[in-house]
Every structure is written in C-alpha cells, then in structure tokens.
Structure 1
Amino acid sequence: MTLVQLAEAGDVDGVLRELAALTPDERAAQAEALEARRAPLRAGWYRVPAQERDAQLAAELGCRTDPEAAADWIMQNENGANSFFPCGAWMLDVVNLQPVAWRAELAAQLADRLPPGMAVRSDLVEHLVHDTGCPVPATDGFIGGWLHWRHSEWEHPPHLRGGPRAGATLLERLRVDELSPMLLPLALERPAVYLGAESFHSLLTTRGRSYTREDTMLGALISLAEEGLVDRAALIRRVFTDLATTETWGWNAAAMLTELALTPEEHASLTRERVALAEPLLARLLQDGTRAQTAPLLAYLRALALTAAEKALALRDHVALLDMSSPVASYAQEVLIGLDEAGLLEADVLTEACERVLLRPEKKLVRAQLTRLDRAAREDPARAARTVLDAATTLGHQDVGMQDRALDVIARHLKAAGDSVLPELRTAAARITPGLAARAADLFGTAPDHLTDRLTGQYADTLPAVLEPRPVPCPIETAVEVAQELAAVVANDKDVVTFERVLDGLVRHARLDREALARALKPVMRKEPREVLDCTQSDVFDVARALRGDEPRKSHFTTRLRHNAPSPAGELLRARLAEAIDIIETGAQPFLLAVPTDATGALDAVVLVQRLAVLDGLGITPAPVDLAQALLRVTPSADERVLGAAGQLGSDAGHRLTWWLRGGGLPHRDSRLAGWPDAHWRKHPTEWLSHVPPEPAPGPALLPAAATLVGPHEEVLHHPMVPFWLAQLPHHRELVMVRDYFGYRMSDRGWAHALPFAAESGGPAGFALHLALAYTLTYDQQGERDAAVDALLVLAARGQLDTGLLARQLALMLRGKRIEASRVTASLRSAADTGAYATVWSVLEALLPHLLRDPVVRGAGALLALGVDCASRCAAKGEIPEVTTAAGRTGSSQVVKNARLLREVLS
C-alpha cells in the first residue's frame, strides 16, 4: 500500500513500516500526493479522526528527508506546533528512522526556530539532545521551552527522554536537572527568555491552590542562588531588567522585591535602577484613582525602599501628591515627614505641606502632621516659631477637635516661639470656631472682635429661598416646537414639565394638522431612547412613531413590558401613553386634562374645571386614564366658587370632580408603624415602613392603573424612582415614599437623586419622607448624600423639617449599627457649611442624647465636634444632661474632650 492509502486507513504502524522500507528518494516522491490528499481536509481538519490525522502527519513528516525541511514542517501550526501538549509518539518514531547525525542536525534546526516565550517542540529538541549526545542548544527559544516544561504540570510522556524529573516543586525539579548548570545562567542573561516573573504574586495568592515560593521561578532561583547553582548578582540584574522593561507594576512587583530581600550593599548598588523604577509610579499616582487602582502602585513604591536622599530627588512630586486621594496623600505625607526627620526638607516646603494637609477632612492625616510638628519643636526649640505658625493653619479646619488639637500644640511651644508670632496667630484665630474663641483669646491675647460678636449675638440660619410656584408654560404653539421638545425628552427623561407638554402637544397638533406634525417629527425619529425595564417618559417617542405611522420599534413600551412588570408609576404612565395613541387615532379629544399647572405635577382646580367645561361644551367624554391622572393631580380646594363651578358641570366627569374636591381627594395616612420605635428598633429600617393603602376615594372607583398607583405594592421593585413618580401624586409624597422607598432594590438606590424633588413636592412631610432623608444621608456615594442634604435644606426652608423625628430615626439606626456615624457627620457638616448652623444644631440637639447613653455610639465624638461648631455659631444655650455627664468623665477621648467643649458653649 502507498503512504496515501495507509493514511486514509488511519494505519500509523503501517505508515512507519512503509517509511522504513522506502529509500529517501522514494519517500520524497510521495510527498506531493500526500499534500494533495491533505488540501481538502484542512477546513475540517480537527473533525478528522485522531488515528487518521496521526497517520497523515506521520507520512508527511517521513517524506521530509532533509533535516531543514523536516524542521520547517514540524514548526508549522497546522502540524501541531501551536500546541503546548508534549510531542506525540508517532513524531518521535518517524524521527528515529533517521541516522544519529540527521537527528542531531534536526535538533539544531528546531532550536533555531523555537520562538521565545513558546514551548512548542522544545521537548523534542531536549529528547534529541539526550538521545544523540549533540551539543545543548543555547537559543532563547530552547531555554524558554526547557523552563516551561519544568513548570508544567503535565505528566511527561515515557517515550521522551529528559523532561521534568520527579519533584514536588519547581525548585526540586531544577535542582536535579542535569541541564540546569548550563541553561539557568544563560536564562538570567537573556531578557527574551520568559521567567514568568509577572505571575509571581498571582501564583502565591491563587485561591483554592497551595503554592509556595519554591513553586515559582523567582523563588526557585533565589534558593538556587543561595546554593551556588546560579549567580545572585545575575539574578538581581535580571529582576530589575524585567521590572524596567515590562509593565510589572503593582502587587506582583512588590512581592518580587520583597522576596528578593536585597542586602544593604545590594540595595545601595541599585540606586539608579530603583529611582528609575519609581519615576513612572509617581507619575501614575499624580493622576490619582480609586483605592484599588492606587494601592498596588503604593505597595510597589514601598517595596523599592527608596532612601531619604533618593526620595528627595522627586520632592515636588511628593508635595503634589498631598492633594490626591487619602491613601496617596498618606504615602506622600509619610515620605515628607521622613525627609524632615532626615534634615532634607526646607522650612518653606514643610509649611507648604502643612497648608495642603492640615485642612484636609481626613483627621488621621491632620493628626499625623500635627504630631510631626510637635515632635520637631520638642527636639529643636529653635523651630518653635515655625511650628506654631504652621500648626495655626489647622485653626481653619472644619472639625473642632482638630482645632483643639492644634491649640494644644501651639500652647506647648508658644513660649519658646516668642511674642513675634502673636499677630499672625491672632489672624489665624479669626477662622476658629466660636466655641474655642475664648481659649484662643487666652493664648494669643485679645480675641478678634468679630469672634466676640459671633459669641454674643444670634447667628442667622442661612437656608435656601423657598421656591415660588413654578407654573407650566402655555401649550406648545407649533409642530416644530413639539418635535424639538420631544428630542429633549428622549435625551432627558427626568423632566416632568417637558414631557407633559410634549404629550399634550402631540394630541393637540395631531388634531390640527397631523401631516405637518409628522413631517416635523421625522428628524427626531432617527435616535431612539435608551432601553430600560420600566416605562419612562422617554417612551412618548413611541406615541410620536404611532402618529407618523412608523413601524413600532423593537423596544416599544407595550412589547418591552410584556415580560418585565413595570413599577406602579410605570403602569399608569403606560396606560396614559396607550390612551394618547388611541386619542390621536380617533381624534376623540382636542387636548389632555392631566397636564399640570405646576412643575411639581400639581394641577390647579380652577384650570381643571375650565378644561372640563370646554370638553362638556364640545360634547366630549374625557378619556378615562387622562381623567384619573387629572383627579390625582388636582390641588384640593375649599373655595366655594371653585366647588360651585365644578357643580355646574353637567357631565359625569364634572360630577366626579365635584365629589372628588368636596371629599378632599385622596386621604392622607400616617406612615409610621404602630409601636415605633420601641417595638421596632432592632429591625432593619426597611421594616419600619408599612404599605398603607388610602381610604376609598370618593365617587366611582379609580381605574386599575390608578388604583395600583395609590394602593399597596408588595413586590420588590427593580426600577429606580424618578421625578415623574412623585408628579403623578403631587400632594401625596408620603404615599409615594411608603410605596416605593424600600420597595426598590437597595443595592442600586437609584431613586436617591429624586429626593430633592420629593422635598419640593406637596402633602405632609411625615415619617416616610424623613426616613428616606435619614437613610440617604448615610450613603457611601457623595452625590447621593448631597441629594439628601439638598432635600434637608429645602424642607427646613419650607418649615417642614421635623428635626426631632429625623434625629430619632438616625439615632435608632446608629444604635442598631445599621449606618455609619462618619457619613452622618459628613452629611450634616455639608449642610452646616451652607450656613444652616441652627438647623443642623436642632438635629444634633435631639440626636446627641440618644448617642451618649451607655454604650456610647462609636463616632459620637465627631458629631459632638460638629455640635460645638454649630451651637457656638447660632448662640445656642441650655444644658443637655447627657453631654454634661459625658464631659464629667475622666480621660481624654474625643467624646470626653468634645463634650467638655460643647458643655462650655451651651453654658
């Protein structure tokens, strides 16, 4: 049989017998036929049975009678050269048909072709080295492949000589390998030879697998250097070469340097290399980033262990890092303090560092800087004057505890500093909280006049102006304007007013001139709204498409919501949009009743009566969903003229409006659970709200969509609250908060940004709204806390903030360890910084007694400090027994010190 026939039969042994029987010329003569058979098989080569593939490949290799041609064939990807699996037995059998000299030449040819970083066929070369006794190749590709197989966890096949010997770790395998003395020194001198250095940290920290340093290449080489098998100096040079030429940044680089454990002599000899490695790290840190992004870089810098003199080379970079995120600033402060201790920091640079650090909100950084200033002046009294002036920067810090600590430092060194510093200290004291002004006056002489005035006069609470009613503009006048405002809604689906005017505009102008409106809308149809699970205001886009006669988009609101239940607010909105499409198609109504007259969503009763009167005059029965939304929005009125005008409407809709107005619309219910807080303080705040359905509405029952909106909703919501939810019930924000506040998945909390809209909305500001406010004040995202602060200030300006209720809710969450006191402090500090000192104090005045009872809540000290500032700025007086008790305790904890300050302010 020919080689082609044997390959077709998948007879590998037959191929080998036939090859052995043929002369080199006879083998070469069959190469073309084998190639012709292979060509059509290439497209589905890996679907060919394994025996048939091996037979074909063995035959093809056997026909390469020249070592160079054979090496070229072996290194082709389609012949298995892209595989990391060991060399197959059939390949070795074919090669063994050749004489020793031929095989030795094949080893040399393959070694020259082995790519660095790849392990393909290096196992075959190693076998041929051992089998023929030829010289050991010294190419980068062979050395890298040899190292790979020592790392490999594949069991070495018995038909190959060489390969990893028995050994539980890489170190043990390298230690007994007879090629190690020759190849390991070469590997260290060849940067192209991959040592796997960048995976050092990941190997040691792989979960679910127990690796030791002896399983890593670096760890093994360090041990072999200790045993004298490799040169440690060469190993160190190689590690630093790899660090400099690859992006081995972060944890791995830090772990490598830590494991290398340079001696003092080695460390000193690598000054240039270590400084060069630090430069790009500092440049990257100057771009700042999240903690996860900067932590590896900081670990790498610390592992480089730069000396003070080496760090001084990048002095300005370290000063600039003081303005970055807290971990980066902490590292820079650590470096600069070290430079100061080493005598390498000029006085003006230290002053600049103090100016950058001592007003930062991180108290740990402030304390560290003040401690350094204090220690420096103790060690060298000649620095006292500079120390007290630098420490005086802290007198403008927002935390009274830090101001008090700064005064301690200044007091210790003021005598040594001399009287010449007093004018500057008095100027700095102008920024101090009034609660510490008396102490500053004792230290510096005469307190600044304006501080005395602030202590003796009532401080005015600065709150945002109460918003006047924001009327909704008149209906849109032209089709072009409808299109323009539709584009605005698609781009921003949070604007209630624009949406309502667009929906009404589509109805109005479709009735006036549908063709003109369709033409005007054409450009807007090019960009579809983003797809979300719930029904949103941007879905008015689908109403415009229906008006134009376009095919519904794939994510049309009716199609999209078949498989995704909308929120209660989304259910009513979906009903309104579907009804609007019907109105446009039938021309049944010239305008919409439910368009609000105020930006909150409220609808003036006089306007609604007038709109119904127009429809009555035209003999038009209002669309039911439109009427239901109008009733939910109408502002209750006891004006007999309004009620009389409504009573004169002869239609069913007019009678219903009359009943609705005389009944006061939806009733308001208290959202607080019975027995709160005593029966619920151990529960999570998500359990503090009950789903309270309203009393039956007067008149005919509400439509299902509207009934869902105002009734209980027990399902977990998957849609964040947006302003239009509140605009659907503009006089019942408590009902909206009860229904939706904790119904939404708390991991997303996307509704927090709607909280200021809730504060501006109407109806009682009760338990639910205050709970939403309290909880949002403690969120980890600054933007969400800012939204809560805005809502707090709006409620306070409108006289609707129940500070006692808010304080009690915060107290229960803090004592139950449901929230973090540091976030409460940060939020209330933000509110106070706007000038609302009296408002914040009224919250703290009610909150602190709950926090100071045993056991004292962790973080109460910072809230006491804020209380000192607020109480002193609004001239609050009156003893708080719990504060007095805390102030009378022994010790110097933050709670005790700040309680004493607050007691003095209130006395």
Structure 2
Amino acid sequence: MTRSVQTLTRLRPSVPEPAGPEPTSSGGLRGGTGGAKGEGGAEELLAAVREGRAAAVPGLLEPLDASARKAALTRLRALRAEVGAGKRATPPHLVDRVRSALYVAGAGCLPASATAAVAASWLGARDLLVREEDGALALAALGDRAPEWAADLAGRLARRRAVAENSYPLLHGLVVRSGYTVPPTDGYVTAWTRHLTDDRLVERLREDPQTPVLVAHALAMAEPPERLTRALGRRPRRHWPTALRTLVGEGVLDRARVLDVCVSRLLHGGPARDLRLPLEMVRLLAPDARELRERIPDWIGIASDAPSLVAGYAQDVLTELASAGTLPVGALAEMTAGVLFRTEKKLVRAQLALVGKVLAEEPGAAGELLPAVTEAFGSEDTGVQERALKLVGRHLPAVDAEVRRELAEAAGLLSPMHRQAAGELFGADLGRGTALPYEEILPPVPEAQRLASPATTVEELVAQLVAGRLAEGPAAFERALDGLVRHAHRDRAAVAEAVREAFPRPPWEQGAHCFTHGTQGIHVVLAGVLGLLDPALVATRRAQGPDQDSCLHQALSGVLDARLWEAAGLVGTDALPFLLATPTWSTGAIEPRVLVERLREYRDAGVEPAPTDLAQALVRVARADPSAGRAAEEAAALGTPAGRRLAARLCGEGIVGATVRFLPRDEDGAPQRWWPSDRLVVDLGEHPAVRAEFPPAFQWLGGAPEAAPRRCPHRVEGRAEWATVLPADRELLAACLLPTLAHRVEGDARGAAEPLTALVEADGPVGRAVLLALAFGLGRVDADDRLRAVDGVLVLAARGELNARRLGAELAWLVAEGSVKPNRLADAARTAAATGAYRTVWTVLEAMLPEVLAPARPVRGLGEVLAVAADCVERCGARGEVAGLDALASGRGSSQLVVQAGRLLSALRQGADQPPTETV
C-alpha cells in the first residue's frame, strides 16, 4: 500500500463490482484478439481520437492488448503535444473534443505497472479535461484496478481543485470501487455538493456514508460551496441548512461536532458572505444555555473580530448569558475590551449599556470592568468617548487607588473637548505632562525608480510572459515589451519557437480573427512574431485613431493599442531594432539624454523611427529634467527630423494643455444634466502642428475629441497604463481622467481612482483638473479608491504642490450639490488626518465649510465632517472663524450636526492645549 493510501479509511469490507468482461494483466478489459488485429484496432482508436469521438473510445479499447495499448499511448502523447502547441491543423470547433478523446484514450492505455502518480499526471492535466462527462468515460476506460491504487489515484486528483471540481464522476467512481474514503478537499466537496443537490437531498445525504466527514469539511471551508449558500427560495427541499438540521435531529450528523465546526468557522472570520452559512446553521440549531456557555471564549473572539452582522449575534449571545448571571466578570471584561475597539457605533453603545447594567447589579465588578471601558476613550466618535467617561465617573468611587490611576492615565486618549471633564473627575491623578508644539507629519516624497533592464535571454523573457507578471503594473509590461522587440530583432526564429512551446493554448490558436475587436494585450505582438497576423488588419489598426464619439479614456487606451499594433507589424524586422518609447523611470517618463542617445543609434543604423513609437517617446520625455536644455542642443545636432522634433519638444514648442469646466445643471433647459460627468467640458484647444506631425492615435491631443460633455457608460479597461501615456503633462492627464472619475459617483465601479497614484507623481503644474480629480477620488464609493485619493493629497502636500484652499473650494460645490457625499468625505479626511496631517486637512475643510453651511438646511451627514474638522483644530491649535458655524452651533437639539458644530466653534475660539506652530 502506498504512503498516501495509509491515511485513507475503509468504507466497508468489500464493494461488489458490476459484472463485466474479465480484466487483463494490462489493467483494461480483455479483448479476444491481438497481434495484427490489435494494431488495426489501435489505428481505429487513434482515428476516433483525431475526430474527437470520446464516447467511442472505451469500446475501441476493449480489443487492444497490452502491447497495442503501449504503442497507442506513445502516439497519443505525440498527438497531445501537437494539439497543445497548435501545430496540428484541427478545426477550432473540434479542439476541445479532441482533447476529451485524448483524455479518455490515455487513461485506458496506461499500463498495469503505471503508478497512481503517473495516472494522475495524465488524468489531472489541465490541457486535457474539458467536460465533466469525460471523467465517467475515463473511469470506464481504466478498467479494473487494485482498491489501494484506485484510492491513491482518487486522493491525488482530489488535491487538485480544478480537477476535482470538474471530474466528480471519476473521483466518486474510484472511491466506490476502492471502498476507501478519500481525505476531503475543497474541490471534491464542492463537486459533491453540486451533484447531490436535488429534491432528494436529505435522502441522498442519508445514503452517502461519507456525509458526516464531507459536511464537516464543507462547513469549515473558507469559501463555502455555492449550493450550500443558496437561500431557501421556492425549492425548500434543496436547501442545505434545513437538510443538515434534519440530519442533526435524526442523529445522522453529530450535533456537537456541527456546532463546533460552525462556531470555529465564525471565529476564523473572513468576508461576511462566507460566514452566512455557519451563522445560519448555528441559528437553526438554536444552542441551549449549556451549549452557549461551553463556547464562551469563542463568542468573545467572534464579537471582537468578526464582521458586524456576525459580531452582533455573538454579542447578543453573551448579553443573554450576562443577563442570566452565567457570564464570568473576567469574560465580560475581555469581551468589552474587544467590542469597544470596534468602530460600529451600534455595537459599541450596546456594550457600554451592558456594562452599565452589570455594574448597577454588581458594583464590586467595577475594578475589573472599568479598565476595559477605557478602550472607548480612543474612539473616533466623541459621543462614545463621552458615554464611556460618564460610565467611569458613575462607578469611580468603587475602585481602589491603583485602578483609579490606571483610569486617569487612559484618559489621555480622550479628545481635547473632554479633557476638562476628565480633569474634574480625576483631579490630581490626571497627569498633564509637558505641552509640546504641534508638528505636522506628512509622508516622505516618493522617489521615481529606474526601470529595470529588459530580459537578457530568450528564456528569461518567456518566463516573464508565462508567469503573467505583466499585470503587476505598467513598468513590468514596458520591460517585457521592450525585451520582446529586442530579442525578436536578434533572432526571431528562436523567440517564435520559445513562444510556441510556452503557450500551448494561446488566444490566437483559433486564428488571427481573435484580434478583430482588440489587441489582447501583448499577445498581438506575440502573434506578430509567429507571423499569424493579416498585414491588411495590422495596417488598418496602425492608422486608426479615436473617432469623434470617443471618450478621453478611450483615447488614452487607444495610444497603447496603436503601439502594440505597430510593434506587431514590425517586430522581428530591421525597422524596429528596439523601442524608443520605453520609459527610463517608473512614472513612465523618459530621461531626455537617454532618448537622444536612442535616436542617435537609430540614425547610425540608418533606421527611420516608427511613427507611433516616436510619438509616445516625445510625449513621455521629461521636459522638467535638469538635463533638458543640454539634451535639446544634442537632439538638434543629430540633424534628423526626429532629433529636431525632440529639440522643439524640450524647448516647450507645441505643448498642449487642457481646461475643464462644468455646464450649469439647467442650461438650455436640459434637466438630464444632473451628474458632473454629464456637464463636464474638457477643452484641449486647437494645435494644428500636433495634428499634422503626430500619427492618428495621438492627433486628439491637437483638439479632438471635441470639447463637449459625453457619457462613457461602457466598460473601462487599462487604467493602470493611462498615467504612463502622459507622464510629463500632469494637468492634461488629470483632465483625461476626470470623465471616468466623475461618471456615476454613486456607482459601485471599483478602481476608477487607480491612476491617481501615478498622477500626483507625474511632472507638470497642479491646476484645477488635478484638484478636481482628487476631489472626486475623495468622494468615491469604494474605500480603496478613497485611500488612493488620500495618498495623492498627502503626497502633493509633502511636495509643496498642494493648494489646499482651492481643493476645499472644489469640494464645497461638489458636496453642496450632492456629487460628493459627506460621509465618504469624512472617512477620507479622517484617514488623512490620522497620519498626522491635521493642519493640512483642516485647511481643506476650512475653505469648504462656509459654502456647505450657508443653506437654511445644511447638507445631510455634515456632522461627521464637522467632527473631523473639530478633531483637526483641537490637535493642531488652529484659530479663526467659519461663516455660518456660529448660527448652526446655537441651534436647538442634540443632533450630531449641532453637537459637532459647537465643538468646532469652541475649539476655534479657545485653541488646543498645545501652542500652534507654523508648518511648511
């Protein structure tokens, strides 16, 4: 027995096999012929494989003896290599069917001496298994095998998730034949749940002897099988949680084990969608008081760390135990510290209420519970801080001097607005320390990194392409593209051969028509290396530019497409020895003297630059580089048209720009102009020289697309590369990004702010377009997008390039008209301030607040923004007046808006504890 089989468990002493032909020593079914007839049968088998007739393969295997099968296997391997490399002229619609037939035939031709590992290498190959029914055919082709061998093979295949999910009939058949249980895996369990889900779910679960083990694994999976997470719906008999509860009630499943697995899964955490199944199971099982008490440590961990919905359930469980007097004080203290560290106000307030109730009934527990309550002193919500401070104040007389000092020390976490109340409560125990001047903390200015040299060998290049590392960013893509062009120029045949071997199933295997509607990234250049592209298609795409209806982001993506098509048409020829436009810096910029040297090499080799490659190089050249002046002289001295164009570019001639503005909402009586993207106008001006000198993909920089509002509701791709198209023109790049950032500010599109990181690191002035791009980013729905905008604001501030008041002015009208929601802006501002940039954030908010406070009915949700503003003022010591704040603070009620307005007004008039200092 093999080592892997030793971990298997026998299901039953023996499993009867259906009657069938007697097995041969080869492991297949005995046939009545051999010799020459066997050779003829092998030919018939191979013909069926070439024609993709997988269903006929098991029957064609029967007459073949061991030697015929061995010979057939050798030819099947050769055929597999041809199909994988695309060398065999198989019609596209037959490729998958041929792979299926290869899969089944290879399984049947495996010799009796083949180990389970050898069989798994064929049956687990991703390039062969296409359809689920192929697994059943392969099982028939395998014939009779030793139980240990079958179990070993099943275990090996089950560990490969993609194989296990798509070949359940094969794995299940091997398990039944062997009589062993295979250690459960995610792939096998997912396939198992899919095959069992029907109207007889409960009955089928009862009949399967593996149900207890497989159910336990399914409940513990990080991502539960889709069938288990379905709602009750209109087919209740297919609802897994209900079925499992039924089996628990019948004793088929052990109740304690199911509860343990579900609670453990909740404790391990993860996205809320992945915890719905275990949470639903716990609720359906309705644990009694004893079962709840046995798992108190688990409930505490869940309440502290799980997603809000799950944590709320755990908090309810512990609250029930506390109300019954069965929750130890130490456990309540641990729970309190964990829950009060959370940000959800509902959970935090409920916990403070629970502690207050317990202390009212058991005052002696104050010494153990109040230190846990101080966790709320560091909350971002000053209202929570106030509740916690009042709770501590009510029960402070019940603690000893040591605990009192501990509580007083924790009071240093309170907001300055509560310092006076804390001082009255703790008196001399509240240490005041030495007042330090405020110091603004900004992130270090990021430095551009030099792009690594291209791959030095074909093997290294192909490894980069196969590993898929091009998705890591534009730098990796540019490096790979440059390496591909250089190596193809030196030895196109070697590169072509390496590409064929490295991509057994490339996008272009079904013909060059796969590029009719797109470049497929760098794959179009690889197809060019292999000579698979229609020259007429290449010429058309190279001459194609954005039409009048194109969006600006389409124009940016069109530049990359044009470069790829140009490279695909010229790769491996003397017309493209290397790329001029490959960046020298991670931002996408090219060092001026490096570009001069590249043009010199082209001149010396007698090569005329490719138009699109040269255009991208000219747009990317860093005009602000200190060496730009000297480089301009050297470029002019080259005596070539390209050199003269570079010199003019470096001297600032023909530089394009952009202005942005927004139409009024009701202009021309057009009420459909509601969202900013519907009213945004980007004017690129008119530059005839640019339109005359640059190729079609770049001519929009000279005044096209038209400066008019236009929607862009279609899918957006290639965001990461946009910033590298215009790394030397930050304001122009920002204008091009604005339509996408402004479009559907309420939508759930993620990643729209991805180019902001590169935008702030680009060269050029910071004008209205850049500030608007950041403003829209601060108001995005996606938290990651907002974080990118926060980073952009802080980096510009660190570089001394941020006009914080102008940014605040742009945010003011966006918030006032509802395009930027206050709660999202508050979250972004709070994140930025927490890094130590309180004065920067306050300067932005100070410029924004007068306009949003002016209306008779202030913008809903503004209280959160005022809370962040107050916190910034209290910490940086700013003073002054904000129009409209006094009237708002004097209003009636105790809403968040009124309370925080009063807090901000008090901070501005009194200053913070520390004297303010000026910051750069």
For the aligned pair, the TM-score class normalised by the smaller chain equals 0.5 to 0.7
* Partners of 2:252 and 2:859 in 1: CA distance: 46
Q: Does 1:615 align with 2:602?
A: yes
Q: Does 1:730 align with 2:727?
A: yes
| Alpha-carbon spacing, 1:749–1:343, altered in 2? closer, same or farther (3 Å) | closer
Alignment correspondent of 1:496? 474
Alignment correspondent of 1:707? 699
8 Å CA contact 1:494, 1:722 repeated in 2: no
Instruction: Give the CA deviation at 1:623.
Output: 1.4
After TM superposition, the structure 1 stretch with the greater mean CA deviation from structure 2, 670-679 or 740-749, is 670-679
Normalised TM-score (structure 2) = 0.62
Alignment of structure 1 residues 67-86 onto 2, 5 Å: none
Instruction: Give the CA deviation at 1:370.
Output: 1.3
Alignment correspondent of 1:672? 661
Amino acid at match of 2:642: A
Instruction: Give the CA deviation at 1:353.
Output: 0.6
Q: Does 1:543 align with 2:525?
A: yes
| Alpha-carbon spacing, 1:286–1:820, altered in 2? closer, same or farther (3 Å) | farther
Between Structure 1 and Structure 2, whose CA radius of gyration is higher? 1
Alignment correspondent of 2:903? 901
8 Å CA contact 1:864, 1:902 repeated in 2: yes
Normalised TM-score (structure 1) = 0.63
* Partners of 1:477 and 1:542 in 2: CA distance: 22
* Partners of 2:902 and 2:489 in 1: CA distance: 73
* Partners of 2:589 and 2:892 in 1: CA distance: 57
Match of 1:575 among 562, 579, 582: 562
Alignment of structure 1 residues 194-273 onto 2, 5 Å: 241=246, 244-245=249-250
8 Å CA contact 1:613, 1:649 repeated in 2: yes
* Partners of 2:420 and 2:682 in 1: CA distance: 53
8 Å CA contact 1:778, 1:824 repeated in 2: yes
Q: Secondary structure at the match of 2:521?
A: helix
Alignment correspondent of 2:864? 862
Q: How many residues align?
A: 658
Q: Deviations over 1:221-249 (max 9, x none)?
A: xxxxxxxxxxxxxxxx999756635999x
8 Å CA contact 1:632, 1:728 repeated in 2: yes
Q: Secondary structure at the match of 1:750?
A: coil
Amino acid at match of 1:468: E
Alignment of structure 1 residues 6-405 onto 2, 5 Å: 241=246, 244-245=249-250, 281-288=262-269, 290-291=271-272, 294=275, 311-322=292-303, 323-405=305-387
8 Å CA contact 2:417, 2:903 repeated in 1: yes
After TM superposition, the structure 1 stretch with the greater mean CA deviation from structure 2, 476-485 or 759-768, is 476-485
Amino acid at match of 2:683: V
Q: Deviations over 1:100-139 (max 9, x none)?
A: xxxxxxxxxxxxxxxxxxxxxxxxxxxxxxxxxxxxxxxx
* Partners of 1:751 and 1:532 in 2: CA distance: 26
Instruction: Give the CA deviation at 1:587.
Output: 0.5
8 Å CA contact 2:491, 2:572 repeated in 1: no
| Alpha-carbon spacing, 1:682–1:567, altered in 2? closer, same or farther (3 Å) | closer
Alignment correspondent of 1:157? none
| Alpha-carbon spacing, 1:636–1:793, altered in 2? closer, same or farther (3 Å) | same
8 Å CA contact 1:808, 1:847 repeated in 2: yes
Instruction: Give the CA deviation at 1:705.
Output: 1.0
* Partners of 1:721 and 1:451 in 2: CA distance: 54
Match of 1:508 among 475, 486, 495: 486
Instruction: Give the CA deviation at 1:695.
Output: 3.3
| Alpha-carbon spacing, 1:695–1:382, altered in 2? closer, same or farther (3 Å) | same
* Partners of 1:798 and 1:338 in 2: CA distance: 55
8 Å CA contact 1:400, 1:866 repeated in 2: no
* Partners of 1:532 and 1:444 in 2: CA distance: 74
Q: Deviations over 1:683-705 (max 9, x none)?
A: 32323532323431646332111
* Partners of 1:487 and 1:735 in 2: CA distance: 35
Instruction: Give the CA deviation at 1:358.
Output: 0.5
Instruction: Give the CA deviation at 1:721.
Output: 4.1
Q: Deviations over 1:427-474 (max 9, x none)?
A: 2123333443343233222476676525xx11x222221122323345
| Alpha-carbon spacing, 1:299–1:485, altered in 2? closer, same or farther (3 Å) | closer
Question: Gaps (5+ residues) in structure 1?
Answer: 1-147, 149-190, 193-198, 208-215, 218-236, 249-271
Q: Deviations over 1:396-443 (max 9, x none)?
A: 223333222211222233244464532111221233334433432332
Alignment correspondent of 1:598? 585
Amino acid at match of 1:866: V
Q: Deviations over 1:802-851 (max 9, x none)?
A: 43344344444444444543333333333233333333333333344444
Q: Deviations over 1:77-116 (max 9, x none)?
A: xxxxxxxxxxxxxxxxxxxxxxxxxxxxxxxxxxxxxxxx
Instruction: Give the CA deviation at 1:387.
Output: 4.5
Alignment correspondent of 2:674? 683
Q: Secondary structure at the match of 1:492?
A: helix
Amino acid at match of 2:698: A
Q: Does 1:433 align with 2:415?
A: yes
Alignment correspondent of 1:830? 831
Amino acid at match of 1:285: L
Alignment correspondent of 1:138? none
Amino acid at match of 1:324: A
Q: Secondary structure at the match of 1:631?
A: helix
Instruction: Give the CA deviation at 1:324.
Output: 0.5
| Alpha-carbon spacing, 1:704–1:843, altered in 2? closer, same or farther (3 Å) | same
Q: Secondary structure at the match of 2:661?
A: coil
Instruction: Give the CA deviation at 1:349.
Output: 0.7
Match of 1:647 among 632, 636, 645: 636
* Partners of 1:706 and 1:751 in 2: CA distance: 23
| Alpha-carbon spacing, 1:591–1:760, altered in 2? closer, same or farther (3 Å) | same
Match of 2:647 among 658, 671, 696: 658
8 Å CA contact 2:330, 2:368 repeated in 1: no
CA RMSD of aligned residues (A): 4.6
Q: Deviations over 1:865-887 (max 9, x none)?
A: 32333323323232334444333
| Alpha-carbon spacing, 1:688–1:417, altered in 2? closer, same or farther (3 Å) | farther
Q: Secondary structure at the match of 1:892?
A: coil
Instruction: Give the CA deviation at 1:346.
Output: 1.2
Instruction: Give the CA deviation at 1:355.
Output: 0.8
Q: Secondary structure at the match of 1:690?
A: strand
Match of 2:435 among 453, 462, 472: 453
- Seq. identity, %: 35
8 Å CA contact 2:677, 2:711 repeated in 1: no
* Partners of 1:280 and 1:736 in 2: CA distance: 53
* Partners of 2:425 and 2:666 in 1: CA distance: 47
Instruction: Give the CA deviation at 1:646.
Output: 3.2
8 Å CA contact 1:384, 1:413 repeated in 2: yes
| Alpha-carbon spacing, 1:899–1:391, altered in 2? closer, same or farther (3 Å) | farther
8 Å CA contact 2:661, 2:682 repeated in 1: no
After TM superposition, the structure 1 stretch with the greater mean CA deviation from structure 2, 341-350 or 300-309, is 300-309
Q: Deviations over 1:243-262 (max 9, x none)?
A: 635999xxxxxxxxxxxxxx
* Partners of 2:469 and 2:406 in 1: CA distance: 54
Alignment correspondent of 1:411? 393
| Alpha-carbon spacing, 1:539–1:299, altered in 2? closer, same or farther (3 Å) | closer
Instruction: Give the CA deviation at 1:336.
Output: 1.6
